[in-house]
Amino acid sequence: MVRKSNLSWKGSGKDGKGSVTTQSGVLKDTQISWHSRFEDGIGTNPEELLAAAHAGCYSMKLSFVLASKNFISESIDTVCSVTIDNGAITLSNLDVTAKVPGITMEQFQECALEAKENCVVSKLFNTLITLKATLV
């Protein structure tokens, strides 16, 4: 399986602008710029897209891990925050809250950790990945 996106950039790093389009069409000519990355400019940025990818991948992986142990979640809500320091991504923080009938806290924590360690985006990042898992 191969997934792709296309980014077109014009101009210098700080003053230039770009647009990103994903294969699915969910993003189509979406603005991307230095200002949307480091200030409050309009558009998206690479770290926001990475955070969305990590939250999505993790949530799906957690649902598969739970199902493999005969648990079906009613909901999984994941917030991912990506931190940049000195030109490198230094942290991807996953904060998940899930409602899973019949599971104990210990079982849930084991599933949450397994999903964190084995989702493909976690495997891609060469950074510290932290996790806070809350069962409701």
Work out the pLDDT band at 72, boundaries 50, 70, 90: very high
Q: Tens digit of pLDDT for each residue in 21-61?
A: 999 999 999 999 999 988 888 899 999 999 999 999 999 99
Q: Put residue 87 in one of left, alpha, beta given phi > 0 → left and psi -120 to 50 → alpha.
A: left
Q: What is the DSSP letter of 119?
A: S
**pLDDT score of 126:** 79
Contacts of 80 (CB under 8 A, 6+ apart): 51, 52, 54, 55, 58, 92, 93, 94, 95
pLDDT at 95: 97
Indicate the DSSP class of residue 32. Answer: E
Residue 125 is predicted with a pLDDT of 87
Residue owning tokens 């985006």: 121
Q: What is the pLDDT of residues 76-127, one digit of tens each?
A: 999 999 999 998 899 999 999 999 999 999 999 999 999 999 999 999 987 8
**Of 136, 38, 130, 30, whose CA–CA distance to 81 is shortest?**
130
- Residue 17: predicted pLDDT: 92
- Alpha carbon separation from 27 to 19, 23, 112 (Å, rounded): 9, 8, 29
Instruction: DSSP for 12-25, please give it.
Output: -TTT-EEEEEETTS
